[in-house]
Structure 1
């Protein structure tokens, strides 16, 4: 009998093989720690859903949305999915295909901004 994770691994492989051109373009920027030295994985199963890209260390999910995600049913599914992922402690960034094709540098900057911890506020003299 196969282990319970067999389906998830197989499905992840299938999704990686069938990536969209926008996902491929973004993956080219994320893979191999190319973006700020942060490690990303593709098509990660989390809470019964598959996240397009995940930085596990910083619990950040990157979703790439194409022409779908516009009907009431799709939006309701996305809402349920996001709620489950947020409850698992993840933050989610969503980008449209057009953003990736026409402003990949801006997309990467937004991702980096979400990953870089905010600087502590300077302590005034006499405080802290």
Structure 2
């Protein structure tokens, strides 16, 4: 039986820990620079989810999975959160390849835009709740 992680709107959310994800240690040197870059949308999102403040769910920022650094990762759910800025407008095939790679491990990917975080953060957080309920509430 799966273990309950938390409740969202009185709905049980079950853990979905993915074992054995690949890790490229050569990317580790890039992490500090990415964290210190202080991209506004990432900082705003991080303030909403850090230290278990979003339904007591633990989020990691700038996590290495294979040859990629994802924006946010929820280890207990196997959930990747990607924030797409203006540069993603010209990287659709790269984003699709990356998402397929991540999903090949059984991970789910929740994509949000930089614009929405800056202008509709409340809506983004509700959409994240809905996404988690849809994928992790095994009724």
Partner of 1:75: 92
Partner of 1:30: 49
TM-score by length of 2: 0.76
Q: What are the residue-to-residue correspondences of 1:1-128 with 2, within 5 Å?
A: 5=25, 7-71=26-90, 74-116=91-133, 117-118=136-137, 120=139
Max radius of gyration: which structure? 1
TM-score by length of 1: 0.82
> Please, which runs of 5 or more residues in structure 2 have no aligned partner?
1-23
> Please, which runs of 5 or more residues in structure 1 have no aligned partner?
121-128
Poorly superposed stretches of 4+, deviation over 4 Å: none
State the Cα RMSD in Å: 1.5
Q: Give the strand-richer structure, 1 or 2.
A: 2
* Total equivalences in the alignment: 114
Relative CO higher for 1 or 2, CA cutoff 8 Å, sep ≥ 6?
Answer: 2
- Decide whether aligned partners of structure 1 residues 106 and 10 sit closer, same or farther in structure 2, where only a CA change above 3 A counts: same
